[in-house]
Amino acid sequence: MNKYEIMMIFKPDLEDEARASLVENFKGILTNGEGVVDNVSEEMGLRELAYEIKDYTKGFYVVIDTHTTPANIAEFERLSRINANVLRHLTLRRD
């Protein structure tokens, strides 16, 4: 298993319950098998974007720290690409 840091930007008009549900779904994908989610940080919250993404000038930032397998990361990436509520995501492998 590898350590990863994932930053996600959600649509700003997404309700808190819907965003929490999405984060829980993505955590479930990352913890499939022997994966572990170490931390979910929503401290950054709603922020201005450096440039417009899909007609939005603001986004809600969430950072997830996890230990998981590359297969779980691949599935996470696939599902976050097709989810309309995710504006952007970035996955970094930490050493």
- Output the pTM of the full model: 0.88
Sign of CA dihedral 58, 25, 67, 72: negative
Shortest CA distance to 59 belongs to which of 8, 1, 11?
A: 11
- What SS3 class is residue 24? helix
In the chain, pLDDT over 70 holds for what percent of residues?
Answer: 100
Domain 2-94, second-level architecture = 2-Layer Sandwich (3.30)
Q: Which whole number is the average pLDDT over 24-36?
A: 90
Domain borders along the chain are 2-94
Over residues 47-63, the pLDDT tens digits come to 999 999 999 999 999 99
Instruction: At 65, list the tokens.
Output: 């720290």
Q: Which whole number is the average pLDDT over 84-89?
A: 95
Q: Which whole number is the average pLDDT over 70-81?
A: 94
**Which amino acid is located at 61 in the chain?**
Y
- What SS3 class is residue 32? coil
